[in-house]
Structure 1
């Protein structure tokens, strides 16, 4: 009889300790969602002209139509919009990322650290 009570107490203690440890564990936060462009990608066709590989130099005048489109967007969203616009027209991803960063800097938007076109 005493061994049954002792066994019940041991199980109760074990479950209590497990419950305490489970309460103090921290769940991993879900990864952030990829930014989604709130505007239609056809509006960003002027950005694809700026990002054309035949352009040697991107300057303020050539990027102005694109800058007016990304004004008011945060850096991640602006990058996503430009990447969506050029995804079909250009296939060299390294060049896309470099050019997107150049365009964002000319628009006075600091590109997100480590941003890559999806």
Structure 2
């Protein structure tokens, strides 16, 4: 096949550019600095402060009173009244809405104040 030298050079130049583009895509970026990861453990509690037991631990559960709550009204009414009381302690509407959500969830899950108290 007879191809003029000018066209042949253009084809070679185009192939060369394609190869360079492919190399650039494969090469990792040179500007990324190395990542350094340092693991640090929290400080050990000093002897002057007692360690706080984790929630649900035997120490924490044993320290709660076992006597049942005396709730003299329907349990769902008690949850509603307690939720209202909690909301009344805050001026922030956002906080009141969050307490209202918690009260609604308590009722939706069929919890009462006795179950909430035990948790």
**Which structure has the highest helix share of the two?**
1
Larger radius of gyration: 2
Q: Please report the TM-score for the alignment, with normalisation by the length of structure 2.
A: 0.27
Relative contact order higher in (CA < 8 Å, ≥ 6 apart): 1
